Amino acid sequence: MTNQQLYSPEKLTEIFAKQHNWQDRYRQLILLSKQLDDLPAEAKIAANQVYGCENRVWLIYKKTPNNQIFFQGDSEGRIVKGLLAILLILANGKTADEIMEIDFENELKALNIIDELSETRLLGLTKLIEAIKKAA
């Protein structure tokens, strides 16, 4: 796994507070997708795939000796990858117990992102959140 440098959760809040319409929020999601390094082809296998999303999404993780979890993820589409980046910014470096405590939906609402997403997309997002919590 590479040591990707993600924004801090505070930086996320700062960025999204400045966006005033849906186009701008989507533009930020697309930019955020670049925060996640592309996974190598050998990691894009069925075992790492998150099912139930519209796009193919892959998720891998490792635990440090002091029980911090670091995820890496990738998706074919940039918008979904941007959403995944947000989730991973919120989860990375935390312990399993801490991750279980995160209210991802609420965090996304605070960033004004949830309202932009249709039901099916929300469902895909829920699958991603489940996959992160399951890993933890």
Partner 1 sequence: MTNNRSTQFEPNQFRSQFPVLNSSENGDFVYLDSAATSLKPQVMIDALQNYYSKHTATVARSLHKDAMRITADYDLARQRVAKFIGATECDEIIWTSGTTESINLIAQSYARSLLQPDDEIIVSDLEHHSNLIPWLIVAEQTGAKVTPWAINDIALSSLINPKTKIVAVTQMSNVTGYCPDLAKISAVVHNYGAVLVVDGAQGIVHNPINVVDYDIDFYAFSAHKLYGPTGVGALYGKKRLLASMPVWQGGGKMLTQASFTDFTPAPLPAKFEAGTPNIAGILAFSATLNWLEKVEISAANHYVETLADYATAKLSKIDNITIYSVPNSPLISFTIAGIHHNDIAILLSEQNIAIRTGELCAQPLMKKLGCQGVIRLSFMPYNNHHDIDNFLNVLNDALLLLK
Task: Rule CB under 8 A: say whether 66 interacts with partner 1.
Answer: no
The minimum distance between CB 76 and partner 1, in angstroms, equals 5
- Interface pick for partner 1 out of 4, 7, 9, 55 (rule CB under 8 A): 55
- Interface pick for partner 1 out of 2, 3, 66, 118 (rule CB under 8 A): 118
Restricted to residues 20-49, the positions that interact with partner 1 (CB under 8 A) are 22-23, 26-27, 30
Report residue 30 as tokens. Answer: 């697309």
Is 18 strand, coil or helix?
coil
The answer to whether residues 80 and 120 touch, using CB atoms and an 8 Å cutoff, is no
Residues 6+ apart with CB under 8 A from 49: 56, 57, 58
